[in-house]
Structure 1
């Protein structure tokens, strides 16, 4: 019960307040969601990614284990979600929207606090979570962009968009500077800190603005699709992660940290992609909202079952 209340009070409630502010202010002022989306993609997200990778100590062995887990886990998730897409007979942008809602999960502003809570601020498990967050930032900015545009644009146009994403350059730059022990000038360090601190608030506010633009009730079909996405993300996801860590022979803190990292709700990236490229925006927003609310129970259950 203490874990449940802690997650509710320290994670879900703060997220809900900022999301609600976005929805209310959009109803009052009719805010420009495209501008908010671009700020997230091109400024705040690259800043927080650089800061975390530059400041977190990560061993080569840890890096290899997490990367292998991530590849196997994403492959398993992709296989399951593709089966659902075929059974539901989705077309066009519906396919990518469902994939993104399951494959992209909130490893940053939800996953890191949960990791700190579950493992009492352990630096080893935090390193695991930072690597997962890195991949969950890289994949939406590459495969995610391809996925939402594949049915309506040619490869050259999609490639130009992907290559314009700062995150794909920020990640190797952060590793290179840390590996070579290159100090960051104080003025730049302060600026990066300001921008990285703005990421979570702006991303949540953007989600609120998108939710505030929804008029009327959901159709029955959308309710079914959102429910399927939520089950795949919050229940099937941790089960698949448990299977992967057992197949890899991982134990202890590493195994627990990877399973917890897989249990978090749908990422804000799915909403940002939907808004930026005009692809199933209502579905994307609803999956983030519903999965975040339901995660209070499911994430607490995962932490409890792991006996952390």
Structure 2
């Protein structure tokens, strides 16, 4: 077991950490501006890897249905855990909203996809593609609702979802597969080439974002929320994921991939929602920092367990 953990650490986490460290160093010493890179990631690299993966993925309709069912069940259970924790700890409304974002939104896109690719190969990436598309939709709809129920607008949430080109490429990929069509060879090669640049760029962005995350001292109530958020995201969420996977009778490589993706640290874009809707952004940003750092130790253990 220990040998497997160290093997996973060196084969998966070390390669991932190189672009993360480079991004952090560039931000710290060269004040790297990630806005242009983020635009590149959102509007070019992310659609490319989703189109490439979904059009070539070895995934069945059963996998799709099971992934959708798991995402919804897991989201419901995490929401219940966050709401119950907020009530037990008597957290104010903004901290409860922040705790809900921490519990439910995971960094499955710019950290999870490269991790799955290295840990489980192309087949794992195929299985992860549907989960990632669903998470993009959840962040821009239910995530907005969690952050600001009083200011929530279904129209604006849907507009936010359909402002992302990744959604359109996912629809295009589904249509191509449904009608057994293929992209022209030259186009497919170009898309694959762009998709290959996804991992190093998004991990560099992640490293730069980590340097900018606020690690300020927190008030007592917020500090309590922080420890509960870390506990839910790092310890409770893997247990909830296991329970959901067991209920749905999901097995094999799909089990492993969904388990790891649902055990990822807090999504970086959770703090964007927290700042926009005053859902305790200091709490959320500190949880992003520490759950991401802790994940470099915890995830190799979890990967070793499911392998």
Both structures adopt the same fold (TM-score exceeding 0.5): yes
Instruction: Bin the TM-score by the shorter chain.
Output: 0.7 to 0.9
Question: Which stretch of the first structure deviates more once superposed, 130-139 or 253-262?
Answer: 253-262
Deviations 1:238-265 (A, max 9, x none): 1112212222344455444433342232
Partner of 2:207: 208
* Cα offset, 1:64, TM superposition: 1.6
Partner of 2:167: 168
* Cα offset, 1:68, TM superposition: 1.5
Please show how residues 173-252 of structure 1 align to structure 2 within 5 Å.
Answer: 173-213=172-212, 217-219=216-218, 221=220, 224-252=224-252
Distance 1:256 1:204, change over 3 A: closer
Partner of 1:56: 57
Partner of 2:18: 17
Distance 2:278 2:167 in 1: 22
Distance 1:9 1:90, change over 3 A: farther
Residues 1:290 and 2:290 are matched in the alignment: yes
* Cα offset, 1:234, TM superposition: 2.2
Partner of 1:142: 141
* Cα offset, 1:76, TM superposition: 0.6
Deviations 1:50-72 (A, max 9, x none): 22111102212222222212211
Distance 2:36 2:275 in 1: 10
Contact kept in structure 2, 1:7 and 1:296, CA below 8 Å: no
Contact kept in structure 2, 1:207 and 1:271, CA below 8 Å: no
- Alignment gaps of 5+ in structure 2: none
Distance 1:2 1:176 in 2: 44
Aligned to 1:219, the other structure's residue is in SS state coil
Distance 1:224 1:6 in 2: 35
Aligned Cα root-mean-square deviation (Å): 3.5
Contact kept in structure 1, 2:53 and 2:125, CA below 8 Å: no
Please show how residues 246-285 of structure 1 align to structure 2 within 5 Å.
Answer: 246-270=246-270, 283-285=283-285
Question: Which stretch of the first structure deviates more once superposed, 240-249 or 278-287?
Answer: 278-287
Residues 1:40 and 2:41 are matched in the alignment: yes
* Cα offset, 1:176, TM superposition: 0.9
Distance 1:89 1:39, change over 3 A: farther
Contact kept in structure 2, 1:207 and 1:285, CA below 8 Å: no
Distance 1:205 1:127, change over 3 A: closer
Distance 1:27 1:118, change over 3 A: closer
* Cα offset, 1:110, TM superposition: 4.5
* Cα offset, 1:113, TM superposition: 5.5
Distance 2:283 2:268 in 1: 12
* Cα offset, 1:169, TM superposition: 1.9
How many residue pairs are counted as aligned between the two chains?
304
Distance 2:111 2:44 in 1: 20
Deviations 1:82-121 (A, max 9, x none): 22344352444x55543333222233454456556665x4
Aligned to 1:139, the other structure's residue is in SS state helix
Normalised to the residue count of structure 2, the TM-score between the two structures is 0.79
Distance 1:18 1:143 in 2: 31
Question: Which stretch of the first structure deviates more once superposed, 235-244 or 177-186?
Answer: 177-186
